[in-house]
Structure 1
Amino acid sequence: MNRPPRRPPLAPKPKASDTPVVLTEAEVAFTRSLVIHEDDSVFVLNKPAGLSSQGGRIQAHTLDDLLWALARRDRPRPRLIHRLDRDTSGVILTARTKPAATFLGKALMGKRFRKTYLAIVTPGAPDPRGGQIDAPLRRESIGREAYMRVCEEGHPDAETARSRYKTLAAGEGAALVELSPDTGRMHQLRVHMASIGRPIAGDSRYGGALMLGGAPVPRLMLHAASLVFPHPEGGERRISAPIPDDMRAILDKLGLAVPDRQGPERQRPDAR
């Protein structure tokens, strides 16, 4: 089983995000348990659903805060290179040094990262079962909440957005799909799948099913399964995170076959 560790009770969160955060022993152990790859330049973590990457209005420690558990003595904490939505699980990359952060930040901006997600969508397989969604998005605020909407290419607030999808398994009323974003807009995969009539299960914001197989969907059924990125010390790394237990339980209930994927791939910095 690949059951993620239970998140420990949180210590009070200080206001100044740039100062070291005092963490409990349980929080330190929890954070270290998330690491699926480390070397001199990076930590790669398997973020559980329910943990915010950064910021937010909830007065609780974010992953960014918890990274102080991985800081070297008298050194800054590792730096997040990208983020995942609070209810999305899976692979997230951090840099251990400023040069590594600069290198990886430029690589991300240069679209040299390749991200693969797994999602459970309803109702059934997309039609066609695979393809590309090329639909611009715009941001819309409703009260204190931010949404993304598909819009016309000529809209003044339009942002280019492209996603690729492939059906891995399908049954009556649901399907497991592999998703690959070519751009990195907020909520991109969620909005794109909803735009073709196959919203991600558990996504109440964009019309996802909240019940599957006669049981409640515990959260957004979206998992960052793997990340390929250029390494600061040369070559590429591909790091994978196993499907979490809550998502696997839904797939089992639906009778959808889980793809045979390897666990996290740990490679030495000099590996090519």
Structure 2
Amino acid sequence: MTSPITLPVRETDGDVRLDRFLRRKFTTLTQGRIEQMIRKGQIRIDGVRAKKAGERLSPGMDVTAPQEIVIPDKKNDGVVRVRLSPEDERWLRDMVIHEDDDVIVLNKPAGIAVQGGTGMTRHLDKMMEIFAEDADSKPRLCHRLDKDTSGVLIFGRNPAATAFLSKAFAGRKTTKVYWAVCLGTPHPLSGEVRGWMIKAGSSRNPDLELMRRAAHGEPDAVFAITDYHVISNAGTKASWVALKPVTGRTHQLRFHMAEMGYAIAGDGKYTCDREPIGGLSPQLHLHARAIRIPHPRGGVLNVTADLPAHMVQAFDALGFEEIEGRDPFEHFRVDA
């Protein structure tokens, strides 16, 4: 059984009603839920069961709530900034594939956003606050993954580590390798894709944002480079491709594969004129498989993320043997 959460009533809270105090701390907690908790005896004031939502609180009192209902991240000011159900917390903690004093690495599932956007309230950047021990230890993003892409995602656990890791990404001192299931088989089997690209569509809505080919010198155009290697193929129908982004542009890998004429399976934004692969999940088949990056305390952090279920199913259906990619970096120059 978990210990209850203790919420001290501070001078800054003033003389306040219980329900208002709780809603300040847990911004998504409804009045109905508060009253239900009170009826069940789950809210206590200085150890005594609260009787009604309008009960008055004064500085120096303590309010307790069950951790099974609200799992907070308490900062020095006592404000609870994130609330997860026990199931969501277990789900988040199960993503962790590496953790130390400076770094947390997740195997991000497809379909969960890394950061918030228009109308988006459920995202990893906010949820990661449950790992914080104080105001300076909230894990902070060091790079990005598309919502529909799964795999390795790195957070710094303190400001110094975050700055170090972010600088490593910006300075291209990392090696990231993605695995993709693509329509058709690229020729040649290994190579480099490069060219200018630019954002098109709506910058206010990332879901509508697309990249398009650009001309050199076009305002806001960026240059992108991707190395690729075909690990295996199922005839001319499909291929398992390892991708190394040399640059880190928005949707770069998806854009480059579609531009080559071998779009990634399940990609509804970047397509080509090849037939879809029958029998596969409609999800995007792009996975951040592995990363090598300098560690803030020295040495190199080398992390590999297991394939998501929909890509395991695709490998089985297409006859790809995962053991063929036992070293994700073997086909590329390693920078870190």
Q: TM-score of the superposition, structure 2-length normalised? A: 0.69
CA contact (8 A) 1:203 1:210 kept: no
Pairing partner for 2:187 from 121, 124, 127 = 127
Answering whether residue 256 of structure 2 is matched by residue 196 of structure 1, we say no
> Which stretch has the larger CA shift, 65-74 or 157-166?
65-74
1:220–1:210 Cα change, 3 Å: farther
Instruction: Give 1:236's aligned residue.
Output: 300
Pairing partner for 2:82 from 21, 37, 40 = 21
How far apart are the structure 2 equivalents of 1:91 and 1:222? Answer: 12
Pairing partner for 1:111 from 156, 172, 181 = 172
SS in 2 for 1:117: strand
Pairing partner for 1:36 from 79, 87, 97 = 97
Per-residue deviation at 1:19? 6.9
Per-residue deviation at 1:218? 2.8
Answering whether residue 196 of structure 2 is matched by residue 136 of structure 1, we say yes
1:158–1:252 Cα change, 3 Å: same
How far apart are the structure 1 equivalents of 2:239 and 2:300? Answer: 31
Pairing partner for 1:46 from 107, 111, 121 = 107
Per-residue deviation at 1:154? 2.6
Instruction: Give 1:245's aligned residue.
Output: 309
Instruction: Give 2:65's aligned residue.
Output: none
Instruction: Give 1:220's aligned residue.
Output: 284
Pairing partner for 1:170 from 230, 233, 258 = 233
Per-residue deviation at 1:127? 0.9
SS in 1 for 2:231: strand
SS in 1 for 2:223: coil
Q: TM-score of the superposition, structure 1-length normalised? A: 0.84
SS in 2 for 1:26: helix
SS in 2 for 1:65: helix
Write out aligned runs for 1:2-17 (5 A). Answer: none
SS in 1 for 2:269: helix
How many residues are matched? 249
How far apart are the structure 2 equivalents of 1:135 and 1:237? Answer: 30
Answering whether residue 116 of structure 2 is matched by residue 55 of structure 1, we say yes
1:128–1:210 Cα change, 3 Å: closer
How far apart are the structure 2 equivalents of 1:262 and 1:64? Answer: 30
Per-residue deviation at 1:90? 0.3
CA contact (8 A) 1:40 1:96 kept: yes
SS in 1 for 2:322: coil
How far apart are the structure 1 equivalents of 2:307 and 2:148? Answer: 14
How far apart are the structure 2 equivalents of 1:44 and 1:61? Answer: 19
Per-residue deviation at 1:130? 0.8
> Alignment RMSD, CA only?
2.4
How far apart are the structure 2 equivalents of 1:23 and 1:176? Answer: 37
Pairing partner for 2:156 from 75, 89, 95 = 95
Q: Deviations over 1:45-82 (max 9, x none)?
A: 10000110001234441011110221125554200111
How far apart are the structure 2 equivalents of 1:195 and 1:165? Answer: 13
Answering whether residue 159 of structure 2 is matched by residue 159 of structure 1, we say no
Pairing partner for 2:143 from 58, 82, 104 = 82
Q: Return 5+ residue gaps in structure 1 as ranges.
A: 1-10, 264-272
How far apart are the structure 1 equivalents of 2:280 and 2:98? Answer: 33
1:74–1:81 Cα change, 3 Å: closer
2:185 partner amino acid: A
Specify the structure having the higher radius of gyration (Cα).
2
Per-residue deviation at 1:260? 4.4
- Percent identity of equivalent pairs: 38
